[in-house]
């Protein structure tokens, strides 16, 4: 088989699907999403059968328990997928929104209209739920998808996509609105990343390695974050009870997520009073601490945090602790070691709060709130397709709006250029 | 000299400049822009001397008259550059704008704040005025620049950048806010395009060849348009006097620009009545016509328009004319042959106007207005750094707002993730 031709045919099919979707109104898209949800539940048996093949193969290959768990589809997870599709159907449709329509001196009205991006490529690991979740968000925003899931989930993904495409066809839409690269060869991804005339945007979801490979090889724009090295800076003017609650929540509420805190920065004047209590609480919750020299003077017996540690995304119950000489040193630390994901200041000082918001160049910057709250749902976007630490197109959690673009429109009455 | 190291050092300098600019408020940026304008006028003599070296070299190399003209700096052009800087100083500053701040159920306020993108690379041809114009827009939006102008203008650009950097230093800002790759080697551009950790965005300005080279070799996001193959579709329900005015204006008012009409599409039921008069008027203005078969039946004696002609950006007094069987065929033609730049429908039919606006997937879609009006100034953006036909980040003319991104900000009062 010619892999390049195979992938190109899928992308071409997606382009045709995207043109069809451009004409579909909200009602048709919403009806389709609800029917897709029903169909997934109806075919739950088949889905679990196909998934069992993948799980057996993964076990045979010796994949870790965590990976096998993420791969597995049971009734509960299929219900969750269906539920996700229904939730997306219920969200407001961003397409067609007209923004900032203003009258120019010559009488023409100029503004913007939100339109779909076109064709979106999603590259992800062996998590079959992403197949349905990502497809739903893209379709709702009027985009066709080219999906490329981890090869360990190929049978599960093929079954899910088959069901979704059947529903699209039954609703009279072009099946090309959903495409799945159902061959395991790695070359398929490389070919996909070269199709800049057919695919408008790539969203990779997974570990840092996958994302780096995609970014380095793509000729198509990519929206992504590599990792979440998130900070909480406890300023000398903080409410220390609030600071302790925020630090605990940011570290232990779910340490395996990209918005969990990895380094706590504490202002020198309060370090002696604040650190012993909060570090004890963190240790009680099972957190392994690494401290700079000053932290270890105040709270002896913990490991040393080296410079290389400050770059790390632990995704685990491990925390760096560093004492800094004020907000400038804290912001310098964040600019040097951070990943522009989520950073919080805890303070009651108005001026420092405003400076931190303005000068910290991260995708989400917070005052007096846990980093764990950076999430499309928590921020009110409805659902998110990922978090971007890029500076182009989207910065922070990406919802339906970030899956559209805004073209210019003009209502004229015969205006000419003078 | 190690070219890679040379270019990397410039980009690193720009990063430091960008950090400094992050703290500079509107006042400081505006004062700097006005001082830069004054300094260009003050040093007009030196600028013309340096420019004379470039012009002499270009003439010796046998460059076309048009290219030499664009390269030349006289007093009038230096005044225009200075004037441009002052106009940018007078525009509202997009940085710091807070958007859509909303309260979430847990009481935290979530919204976005416009912030600079960071470091912007501008790659352009031998037009020294771009050096000042592009720098002004980037600085106003808080971004540092790495400039790479055509090698024929190297002495002029070096002189301009020297003057601008002097002013930056005098105003107490980091000189790295303006960087110029002042070596002629092509490899310098290739090295620049690999620095995705230091440069956030590339904007190429120039011909299609330059832009394709940049896009194909860049690992940094690029905003651009390749060409402007713009259409006017004269619908059967058009006001034919208005249609004739719009078609004439779109073609002849300034044919060498990217928003000039290249193909006129005329609805079959009005073709016989409309074409003879408008084609005669176009010919009277010196336009060479190419028609499809039906057009040539109605208006014999003109050349045939082949399929390959429909893809062409003539940038000249040449026009394709095609008769189509209604709005669907017109939109199909635009989707097939167009470049997603600017397309207009002339009609008095409400339903077709709304369909055209919604379904034509171009960066600017107009009803009853000349394509020549697609321009940052005409659209009210103040000034433009270019036009994007991309679908990511910016679509259509790009003003100051498109030189920023919007991060999320949170005003909390101790919120935690449940």
A242 assigned to some structural domain: yes
H or E stretch at A193:
none
Residue numbers of the domain that contains A240: 230-378
The token pair that represents B300 in the structure block? 């014999």
Whether B219 maps to a domain, the answer reads: yes
Question: Distance from A119 to chain B by nearest Cα, in Å?
Answer: 10
Q: Are strands A288-291 and A318-324 parallel, antiparallel or unpaired?
A: parallel
Residues B199, B256 within the same domain: no
pLDDT of residue B78: 97
CA B76 to chain centroid: 23
Q: Between chains, do B412 and A22 touch, taking CB under 8 Å as contact?
A: no
CATH number of the domain where residue A367 is located: 3.40.309.10
pLDDT surpassing 90 at residue B23: no
Mean pLDDT value across residues A59-87: 94
CA distance A52 to chain B (A): 34
As for the ipTM of the complex, it is 0.95
Question: What is the average pLDDT across A241-261?
Answer: 97
- A414 in a domain, yes or no? no
Do B244 and B140 belong to one domain?
Answer: no
Distance, in Å, from the CA atom of B357 to the CA atom of A64, rounded to the nearest integer, reads 52
Whether A103 is in a domain gets the answer: yes
Q: Is B366 helix (H, G, I), strand (E, B) or coil?
A: strand
Are B108 and A393 within 8 A, CB to CB?
no
| Chain A residues 113-132 with CB within 8 Å of chain B | 113, 115, 117-118
B206 touches B182 (CB < 8 A)? no
The rounded mean pLDDT for chain A is 96
Contacts of A409 in chain B (CB under 8 A): 357, 364-366
Is the per-residue pLDDT at A23 higher than 90?
Answer: no
What integer pLDDT is reported at residue A88 of this predicted model? 96
Between CA B277 and CA B281 the distance in angstroms is 6
CB contact, 8 Å: A16 with chain B? no
Supply the mean pLDDT for chain B.
96
Q: Dihedral sign for Cα A245, A247, A250, A256, please.
A: negative
The arithmetic mean of pLDDT across residues B240-257, rounded, is 97
SS3 A184: coil
Give B48-54's long-range contacts (Cβ < 8 A, gap of 24+). B48/B73, B48/B74, B48/B75, B48/B78, B50/B155, B50/B156, B50/B158, B50/B159, B51/B128, B51/B155, B51/B156, B51/B159, B53/B155, B54/B126, B54/B152, B54/B153, B54/B154, B54/B155, B54/B156
Q: B252 CB near a chain A CB, below 8 Å?
A: no
DSSP string, B301-312: TSEEPPHHHHT-
A-facing residues of B in 306-325 (CB < 8 A) are: none
Domain boundary among B205, B224, B243: B224
CB contact under 8 A, B405 and A417: no
Tell whether the model's pLDDT for residue B320 goes beyond 90.
yes
**Cα separation of B20 and B28, whole Å?**
12
Are B414 and A242 within 8 A, CB to CB?
Answer: yes
Q: Mean pLDDT, to the nearest integer, of A118-130? A: 95
Query: Of A200, A224, A248, which marks where a domain is finished?
Result: A224
pLDDT of residue A382: 86
Whole-number pLDDT of residue A86: 97
Q: Are residues A249 and A358 in the same domain?
A: yes
Query: In sequence order, which residues have a C-beta less than 8 Å from that of residue A339 and are 6 or more positions away?
Result: A225, A226, A227, A228, A229, A230, A313, A389
In this prediction, residue B1 carries a pLDDT of 80
Helices and strands (H and E) in chain A: how many: 15, 16
Q: What mean pLDDT comes out for the span A74-97?
A: 96
- What pLDDT, on a 0 to 100 scale, did the predictor assign at position B198? 95
Alpha-carbon distance B171 to B180, whole Å? 19
CB count, 10 Å around CB of B16? 15
Q: Is residue A384 in a domain?
A: no
Residues B262-285, mean pLDDT to the nearest whole number = 98
Last residue of a domain, one of B195, B224, B253: B224
> Could you tell me if residue B206 is inside a domain?
yes
| Number of independent structural domains in chain B | 2
Of all residues in chain A, the one with the smallest CA distance to B25 is A358
Same domain, B82 and B14: yes
The answer to whether residue B8 neighbours chain A at the CB level (below 8 Å) is no
User: Is residue B47 located within the same domain as residue B26?
Assistant: yes
For the purposes of burial, counting CB atoms within 10 Å of the CB of A123, is it exposed (0-12), middle (13-18) or buried (19 or more)? buried
Q: At what angle do helices B44-60 and B75-90 cross, to 10 degrees?
A: 120
Cα nearest neighbour of A246 on chain B: B416
Same structural domain for residues A69 and A98?
yes
pLDDT at B400: 96
pLDDT of A1 strictly over 90: no
| Distance, CA of A305 to CA of A296 (rounded, Å) | 10
Residues A59, A177 share a domain: yes
Cα B358 to Cα B334: distance, rounded to the nearest angstrom:
14
Which of A102, A374, A391 minimises the CB distance to B380? Answer: A102
Total residue count of chain B as it appears in this document: 418
Q: Residue A248: is its pLDDT beyond 90?
A: yes
* CB-CB neighbors (< 8 A) of A397 in chain B: 408
Could you tell me whether strands A404-415 and B364-369 are parallel, antiparallel, or unpaired per DSSP bridges?
A: parallel
**What band does A339 get if pLDDT is binned at 50, 70 and 90?**
very high
Q: Under an 8 A CB cutoff, do B391 and A117 touch?
A: yes
Q: What average pLDDT does range B126-142 have in this prediction?
A: 95
CB distance A345 to A333 below 8 Å: no
pLDDT the model gives residue A383:
85
> Do residues B314 and B345 both lie within one domain?
yes
User: Can you state the angle between helices B240-252 and B268-284, rounded to 10 degrees?
Assistant: 40
Q: Does the pLDDT value for residue B66 go beyond 90?
A: no
The distance in angstroms from the start CA to the end CA of chain A is: 58
Residues 187-246 of B with CB under 8 A from A: 200-201, 215-216, 219, 221, 223, 239, 242, 245-246
Is residue A380 within 8 angstroms of chain B, CB to CB?
yes
- β-pair type (A342-346, A318-324): unpaired
Q: Is B19 on the interface with A (CB under 8 A)?
A: yes
pLDDT, residue B333, reads 98
Q: Are residues B136 and B58 in the same domain?
A: yes
B343-383 pLDDT, tens per residue? 999 999 999 999 999 999 999 999 999 999 999 999 999 88
Determine whether the interchain pair B379/A104 forms a contact, defined as Cβ–Cβ distance below 8 Å: yes
Q: Which residue of B has its CA nearest to A98?
A: B358
Determine, yes or no, domain membership for B236.
Answer: yes
Within this chain, do residues B306 and B247 fall inside the same structural domain, yes or no? yes
Percent of chain A with pLDDT over 90: 96
What's the token pair of residue A303? 């490991």
Same-domain pairing of B91 and B218: yes
Nearest to A372 among B110, B361, B417 (CB): B417
In a domain, B307, yes or no: yes
User: How many residues are present in chain A?
Assistant: 418
User: CATH number of the domain that A54 lies in?
Assistant: 3.40.605.10
CA–CA dist B266, B246 (Å, integer): 13
DSSP secondary structure of B68-85: HHHH---HHHHHHHHHHH
Do residues B12 and B156 both lie within one domain?
yes
The helix/strand/coil state of B405 is strand
Answer yes or no: do A335 and B19 touch at CB < 8 A: yes
């Amino acid at each position: 088989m010619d892999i390049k031709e195979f992938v190109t045919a899928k992308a071409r099919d997606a382009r045709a699907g995207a043109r069809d979707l451009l004409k579909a109104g909200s009602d048709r898209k919403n009806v389709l999403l609800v029917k897709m949800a029903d169909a997934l539940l109806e075919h739950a048996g088949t889905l679990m059968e196909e998934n069992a093949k993948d799980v057996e193969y993964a076990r045979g290959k010796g994949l870790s328990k965590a990976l096998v768990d993420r791969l597995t589809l049971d009734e509960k997870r299929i219900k969750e997928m269906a539920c996700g599709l229904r939730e997306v159907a219920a969200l407001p449709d961003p397409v067609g929104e007209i923004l900032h329509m203003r009258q120019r001196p010559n009488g023409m009205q100029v503004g913007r209209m939100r339109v779909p991006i076109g064709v979106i490529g999603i590259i992800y690991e062996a998590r079959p739920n992403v197949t349905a979740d990502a497809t739903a968000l893209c379709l709702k925003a009027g985009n066709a998808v080219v999906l490329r899931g981890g090869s360990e989930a190929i049978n599960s993904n093929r079954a899910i996509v088959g069901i979704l495409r059947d529903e699209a066809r039954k609703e009279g839409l072009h099946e090309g609105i959903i495409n799945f690269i159902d061959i395991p060869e790695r070359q398929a991804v490389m070919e996909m990343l070269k199709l800049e005339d057919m695919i408008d945007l790539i969203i990779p979801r997974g570990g840092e390695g996958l994302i780096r490979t995609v970014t380095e090889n793509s000729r198509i724009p990519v929206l992504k974050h590599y990792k979440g090295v998130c900070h909480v800076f406890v300023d000398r003017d903080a409410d220390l009870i609030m600071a302790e609650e925020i630090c605990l929540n940011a570290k232990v509420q779910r340490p395996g997520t990209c918005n969990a805190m990895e380094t706590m920065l504490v202002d020198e004047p309060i370090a002696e009073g604040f650190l012993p209590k909060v570090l004890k609480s963190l240790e009680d919750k099972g957190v392994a601490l690494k401290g700079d020299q000053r932290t270890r003077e105040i709270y002896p017996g913990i490991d040393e945090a080296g410079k290389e540690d400050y770059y790390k995304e632990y995704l685990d119950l491990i925390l760096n602790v560093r004492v800094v000489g004020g907000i400038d040193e804290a912001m310098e630390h964040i600019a040097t070691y951070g990943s522009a994901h989520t950073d919080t200041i805890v303070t009651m000082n108005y001026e420092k709060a405003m400076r931190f918001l303005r000068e910290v160049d991260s995708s989400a910057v917070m005052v007096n709130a846990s980093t764990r709250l950076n999430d499309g749902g928590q921020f009110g976007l409805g659902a998110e397709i990922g978090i971007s630490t890029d500076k182009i197109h989207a910065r922070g959690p990406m919802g339906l709006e970030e899956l559209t673009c805004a073209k210019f429109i003009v209502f004229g009455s015969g205006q000419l250029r003078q």
